[in-house]
Amino acid sequence: MEIKQSPFAPKSYPELPDIDGISIFAGNAAIKYKNRPDVFLAVLDDNTSSAGVFTKSKTRSAAIDWCRATLKNGNAKALLVNSGNSNAFSGEEGIKAVEESMQAVANLIGTTAQSIYMCSTGVIGVPLPYQKITSKLDGIYKSGKCSWQDAALAISTTDTFLKMHSIKIGEITINGIAKGSGMIAPDMATMLAYIFTDAKISSDDLQQMLSEINEQTFNAITVDSDTSTSDSLIAFATNKKEVDKQKFRNGLEKVMMNLAHQVAKDGEGATKFIEVEVTGAENDKAAKKIALTIGNSPLVKTAIAGEDANWGRVVMAVGKSGEAAERDKLSIKFGELLVAEKGKAAPSYDEEKVSAYMKNQELKICVDVGVGNGKAIIWTCDLTHQYISINADYRS
Amino acid sequence: MEIKQSPFAPKSYPELPDIDGISIFAGNAAIKYKNRPDVFLAVLDDNTSSAGVFTKSKTRSAAIDWCRATLKNGNAKALLVNSGNSNAFSGEEGIKAVEESMQAVANLIGTTAQSIYMCSTGVIGVPLPYQKITSKLDGIYKSGKCSWQDAALAISTTDTFLKMHSIKIGEITINGIAKGSGMIAPDMATMLAYIFTDAKISSDDLQQMLSEINEQTFNAITVDSDTSTSDSLIAFATNKKEVDKQKFRNGLEKVMMNLAHQVAKDGEGATKFIEVEVTGAENDKAAKKIALTIGNSPLVKTAIAGEDANWGRVVMAVGKSGEAAERDKLSIKFGELLVAEKGKAAPSYDEEKVSAYMKNQELKICVDVGVGNGKAIIWTCDLTHQYISINADYRS
């Protein structure tokens, strides 16, 4: 089966700048992929702050447990990522694979294993053949620094394009790379995302910003409602340059939002990028639940794939969310077109106009549920034949 | 697009017997379907008990509100069902459509509108053109009693086969008909199901049985996690013949279970029928949530469609359910084959054997989450290209 590239893939990739205090390396350990980098190593200067958000899955991988411990230790010296095997649900052997990999990196760069993060992505249930990584580490390190594009490639799996973004805030830089395409749902949504900056910011401040912004970005996208066992978002700040905290926060939000949108746009089989905005809910949490119920509904997603102005399915999804909604005050807009209000089709509803709107590649659905002031926005993609092809045939 | 018939469609339909005290009629009102019955009318003798369970959707149809009121009135004289338009989210006009239809039936059979149930299924958001029904009612009534097969056909929409089942308990009969294929998820799962019996049983007893059994039958199946705005399960007992209460309950359960399985087997695009059994959960409710999370996971369902022994996706689904699960005690069986135990692949795991098992049309997945004694069983189907074809092209 041929996997088609997402129509949202960029024509070319941006060249991300170096970050003062961070050296990046990539290489091939042939864990699953043979002719491309599948190992990414970031080595961090002393005094680098770090923060992280990890999957809430009860069947999280051994690497996730390791990262949580590293995060507590508070001293980040390196990050190791491999693709091709998630080392999740791999028992004692899986734990050993993390420990051995971390010790190998520690020996390589002269630090302690407890100050290194590790993430693995790929098939679940097979212990990571860590010797493939540890035997190659020295060579990868000595081959010299890699490009950010190589780094983004090394962490990717079924992605049809690489997710990278960078911004400048005065002197400082924020780089981000992410991977993710299927098994995408909040808690966390990304599978893997990494943020690197030379800004001076404490681990506590970075963690607070990361957790807050995460709710409106990576935790507000969904592809298929499924949650990975390895989802991780980690940020590193090398503390090289002073920055205004609010300006930094705004920049961080821009990078995270951009990467989150890229992940939804590369949702398996995606042909449409959809923004769902819910207003008038009991509170913001209820609004998000309604928005995600719409965004996860197979019937809504297939209607959009078919460019069918079937707004009745949006009504259905609101109804099943379990959150308070006033049927007879409900209003729905597709883009700027009012399709329903006061519990029925809008008098101005013009199916031809709405059908024309559905042909757009980027769509917006706005729903007001008529109860209170809660609001939320989430992003998702449509559900197409290509999703079935990828997931019925692909052994992840 | 050609809609393929479910591989689970029966070779022929059973002939359901008459029920003492119930007269059934069917005919065409051309609401959407032109060459088949789309209206079903059941006229009930005096002293008929009734019970019902209805969708919990916040955007339920006007007919659902009407049925709830009839249920409270406690006196059932008739049931009117139409297919081709669900009259959901149709505002004041929708309410009027129900009132006018009910008054027309009341006039026809000489009773009050408040003792009649109404159900509508089909497109959401278009007021029911009730005149099409009311103008035809007299003719349908005078054309004489219909067969149960006509009744099952009249209530169907995207169903690829008719769902009927009947059992005898001594002298008494329980007949059931159901429809449903997409937009199938608990609360309620069926879209529409009707049970008819000549047994002597009070409305209160019938309601208690119906509600309890519903949890293990119609509320334990899922096709696509979407919830209809019109789901209704209604039971009628004409009180003609004495019956042992426990025996009746057992019989009722058999009919409801059989119909629920038929609905899952006719899930849009289904090629596999899947039983998911969860044991070892914190309690039964938690077990059901885990089982439904597995049964609703697009990644689990596509793996099964592809006959891929990808049990890692079951691990993922357990993890995302949010319920307590001990990763390192988790065990998973596909049929009788142990694939994972103690948090990793089972030593006896033989991918070839499991792959061979996946070729069966009926599959069983057993998961023990190693926490407590809670257990639950749910039924679902796989997710195939045909589901996308039906829902991306079909304007419901």
- Domains by residue range for chain B, with CATH: 22-263 (3.60.70.12), 273-393 (3.10.20.340)
Segment B116-155, tens digit of pLDDT: 999 998 888 888 999 999 999 999 999 999 999 999 999 9
pLDDT at A89: 87
Instruction: Indicate if the pLDDT at residue B295 is higher than 90.
Output: yes
Mean pLDDT of all residues in A284-303: 92
In the set B190, B222, B227, B279, the catalytic residue is B190
Pairing assessment for the beta strands A232-241 and A49-54 based on DSSP bridges: antiparallel
How far, CA to CA in Å, does A372 sit from each of A279, A324, A330, A365, B223? 8, 9, 12, 19, 32
Structure-block tokens of residue A81:
């990522």
Residues forming a β-bridge with A338: A333
Coarse DSSP helix, strand, coil percentages of chain A, rounded to the nearest 5 percent: 35, 25, 40
Residues forming a β-bridge with A332: A340, A367
Structure-block tokens of residue B301:
């369902």
Measured N-to-C along each axis, helices B91-109 and B62-73 cross at an angle, to the nearest 10 degrees, of 40
Chain A residues in contact with B298 (beta carbon < 8 A): 224-226, 298, 383, 387, 391
Instruction: Give the dihedral sign, CA A55/A59/A65/A66.
Output: negative
Chain B residues in contact with A383 (beta carbon < 8 A): 298, 388
Residues, chain B, total? 396
C-alpha A222 chain-centroid distance: 9
Residue ranges in A86-164 assigned as alpha helix (H): 91-109, 130-142, 148-154
B391 touches chain A (CB under 8 A): yes
Residue B231 in 3-state DSSP?
Answer: coil
Percent of chain B having pLDDT more than 90? 67
Count of C-beta atoms within a 10 Å radius of residue A72: 8
A10 touches chain B (CB under 8 A): no
Distance from CA of B299 to the nearest CA of A (A): 6
Q: Tell me the pLDDT band of B187, cut-offs 50, 70 and 90.
A: very low
Segment A174-200, tens digit of pLDDT: 999 998 865 544 333 347 889 999 999
Instruction: Give the dihedral sign, CA A266/A269/A271/A273.
Output: negative
Mean pLDDT of all residues in B12-38: 95
A269 touches chain B (CB under 8 A): no
Residue for token pair 């983004």:
A152
ipTM of the complex, rounded to two decimals: 0.76
Instruction: Give the dihedral sign, CA A374/A56/A179/A380.
Output: negative
Instruction: Indicate if the pLDDT at residue B383 is higher than 80.
Output: yes
pLDDT at A187: 39
Segment A217-245, tens digit of pLDDT: 888 888 766 665 667 888 999 999 999 99
User: Distance between CA B286 and CA B261 in Å, rounded?
Assistant: 22
User: Distance between CA B61 and CA B55 in Å, rounded?
Assistant: 9
Asked about A173 being catalytic, the answer comes back as no
Selecting from A58, A321, A388 the residue whose C-beta is nearest the C-beta of B325 gives: A58
Residue B369 vs residue A267, higher pLDDT: B369
Q: Distance between terminal CA atoms of chain B?
A: 14
Segment B326-366, tens digit of pLDDT: 888 999 999 999 999 988 889 999 989 999 999 999 999 99
B395 touches chain A (CB under 8 A): yes
What rounded mean pLDDT belongs to chain B? 90
Segment A30-39, tens digit of pLDDT: 999 999 999 9
Segment B53-105, tens digit of pLDDT: 888 777 788 899 999 999 998 789 999 999 999 898 888 999 999 999 999 99
Instruction: Indicate if the pLDDT at residue A375 is higher than 50.
Output: yes
pLDDT at B232: 84
Q: Tell me the pLDDT band of B277, cut-offs 50, 70 and 90.
A: very high
Mean pLDDT of all residues in A77-100: 93
Chain A residue at shortest CA distance from B328: A91
Q: Is A1 exposed, middle or buried (0-12, 13-18, 19+ CB in 10 A)?
A: exposed
Instruction: Indicate if the pLDDT at residue B186 is higher than 70.
Output: no
Instruction: Indicate if the pLDDT at residue B258 is higher than 80.
Output: yes
Instruction: Indicate if the pLDDT at residue A121 is higher than 70.
Output: yes
- For an interface test with A, the pick among B32, B58, B64, B271 (most A C-beta atoms closer than 10 Å) comes out as B58
C-alpha A345 chain-centroid distance: 36
pLDDT at B34: 93
User: Distance between CA A119 and CA B193 in Å, rounded?
Assistant: 49
Cβ distance A387 to B319 less than 8 Å, yes or no, reads no
B319 touches chain A (CB under 8 A): yes
Chain B residues in contact with A308 (beta carbon < 8 A): 392-393, 395
pLDDT at B90: 87
